[in-house]
Structure 1
Amino acid sequence: MRIPPFVPYLTGVCLAATALVALELHEDEQPTTAGRPAPQASRTPGAPSTAGTTSSAPSSTAAPDRFRTDADLPAGPPVPLRGAGTWRVVPGGFGDTGTPYAVEVEDGVVPPRGDGPFAAVVDHALAHPRGWRAVGHAFRRVDASGAPELRIRLASQETARALCGFELPYDTSCRIGPIVYLSAARWLRGAHAFAGNLRGYRTYAVNHEVGHFLGRGHETCPADGALAPVMMQQTFSTANDDLAAITVGTDQGVPIAADGRTCVPNPWPAP
């Protein structure tokens, strides 16, 4: 979500897996209208190399007396703290036309219900009629032999922090070149702005970071009560006032005015 100095833009089935996730797709996919909570890489050089550790701390390096914001990692299950810094490709394919992408998981990270359902959520987000397909961007999933042009990776908390940056003390996902890194901490716990709608948040994270791959920059809330643009930094907040305060002194690629506008969370490019 955040743009560190070295990244232009920041923050994404086998039949059995498809069948499993298909059951989940009956869940409500509409953007939540709940009120906003009160403020409250192959081995990648420099990536952590110790696998298997988990963490249940909301944000392990944040100062304990820091004022709580919507950007904080919500409480929830333990998250994969460290991975191996190497990646396994989820086998299988999805779709017939469009930009080829591969789905990968960091070794040492085990997604909820396994690799297949994780890939199926990515497939669902990219193939949905409210997704990037609606504005002319089609995608198809391939394995490593299919020469992917985009890789969507699930990364442990420390790998995501090392690659995406942690100067602002919040877990985020990001896009670096043709690779999207999805923070496993966020994948497991979501964001306060989505008020417990984990499926909606996961869809948003994929669509937001793939939007950066497509050349889209960050946006802000256009009108009070409107659906948030998918390129808004909804991991941090859906309120411009909060975004302005959280990101003060950093370059997010767009001016953020504290204008009182608060949007409704939205995971889709074309809702």
Structure 2
Amino acid sequence: MALAALALGGGAALAHYQGGGTKPAPEAADGRVRPPVAPTVSPEPRDTASAPSRSRADASAGPSQKTPPKRKPATRVPASGNGTFATAEAAGRASGSGPLRRYRVQVEKGIDISAKDAAAEIQQILAHPRGWAAHGRGSFQLVSAETDADFVIRIATPATADRLCRDQGLDTHGELNCETTDGVVVNLRRWMLGSPTFAGPAAEYRHLIINHEVGHVIGLRRHLGCGGVGKPAPVMMQQIKGLDGCRSNAWPYAEDGTYITGPTL
């Protein structure tokens, strides 16, 4: 982000007084000049009640200094992990209509994300009113390790994500997510920080991650382009690589139920 510097120029104001000088002294009847009589000026009363007294310590301390606000620490995303995963021991009801797809959620061990919390968030994303399940593209059910799953959603550090995606012949450069033969790999950096091209918080960008990758799982193999300048970008567009005039968007469908699409790439 570019920072703009604003320079303020100041000018000196000159005050001009009219009728300056000293008034001539009056003459007496005998022709002698009398000295001017100084006007009587009453001393201005001091309002001691309105000005709080300062102690000697206060007076010597100088102007008070405000404590600068504390900066929110930057989110730290570990570059690598141990490559093993914890499975969310949670299950839920199927949401949506269409072919049932059971999924499991795993989070790489040693990172500051609970597999159970991640699974709950993904469950909400897949059940969103503007998501795939709400529009007949399939129903989705979260299952635990003891139940067979149709696909797995893994959240992994950048190095582990690269390794898993590379096994599929994909180069994710420590930045991207990917679809694998058994499910979806989510790069922890994207999960935590969002994307510099996305005009929204990281929590909203997580909708885009899941909707895009699950879109591949349900059979939408090709990526889409921008459907027109100013229009919302399709979720099957690789929005992290640029928007081409579209507005960033995290959901497959508009609020009126229209599918958000664009040219096939």
TM value normalised by structure 1: 0.60
Which structure has more helix as a fraction of its residues?
A: 1
Quote the Cα distance in structure 2 between the aligned partners of 1:167 and 1:93: 33
* Distance in 1 of aligned mates of 2:181 and 2:165: 12
Q: C-alpha distance in 1, partners of 2:172/2:141?
A: 34
1:160 pairs with 2:164: no
Q: Which residue of 2 aligns with 1:230?
A: 235
| 1:77 paired residue number | 75
Which sits farther off after the overlay, 86-95 or 200-209? Answer: 86-95
Following superposition, the deviation at residue 168 of structure 1 comes to: 6.7
Structure ranking higher on relative contact order (CA contacts 8 Å, 6+ apart): 1
Change (3 A) 1:237 1:96: same
Select 1:104's aligned residue among 93, 106, 130.
106
> Do residues 117 (structure 1) and 121 (structure 2) align?
no
| Deviation >4 Å, runs of 4+ | 165-170
SS of the counterpart of 1:180?
Answer: strand
Contact (CA 8 Å) 2:86, 2:115: kept in 1 or not? no
Alpha carbons of 1:163 and 1:76: their partners in 2 closer, same or farther (altered >3 Å)? Answer: farther
1:222 aligned partner, one-letter code: G
Q: Secondary structure at the match of 1:193?
A: coil
1:61 aligns with none
Structure 1 residue 88 displacement after superposition: 1.3
Residue 213 of structure 2, aligned match among 200, 209, 216: 209
Equivalent residues of 1:164, 1:172 under 8 A apart = no
Structure 1 SS opposite 2:190: helix
After superposition, the CA RMSD in angstroms is 2.1
Q: Are residue 176 (structure 1) and residue 177 (structure 2) matched?
A: no
Cα drift, residue 178 of structure 1: 2.3
Question: In 1, distance between residues paired with 2:112 and 2:154?
Answer: 12
- Corresponding residue SS for 1:204: helix
Aligned match of 2:127 = 127
- Partners in 2 of 1:230 and 1:195 — Cα distance? 14
Aligned partners of 1:191 and 1:236 also within 8 Å: no
Return the alpha-carbon distance in structure 2 between the equivalents of residues 95 and 270 of structure 1: 23
In the TM superposition, 1:28-39 aligns within 5 A as none
Q: Distance in 2 between matches of 1:76 and 1:169?
A: 22
Residue identity opposite 2:110 in structure 1:
G
C-alpha contact 1:82 1:158 (8 A) present in aligned 2: yes
- Report how many aligned residue pairs link the two structures: 175
Letter in 2 for 1:228: A
Structure 1 residue runs without a partner (length 5+):
1-36, 39-74, 240-261
Sequence identity of aligned pairs in percent?
35
Partner of 1:218: 223
Which residue number corresponds to residue 145 of structure 2?
A: 144
Matched, 1:269 2:243: no
CA distance in 2, matches of 1:83, 1:170: 13
**Alpha-carbon distance change, 76 to 174 in structure 1, aligned in 2, over 3 angstroms:** farther
- Aligned twin of 2:93: 95
Whole-angstrom distance in 2 between the partners of 1:115 and 1:168: 23
Q: CA deviation at 1:170?
A: 5.7
Q: Deviations over 1:175-214 (max 9, x none)?
A: 1012201000111111012234211101100110111111
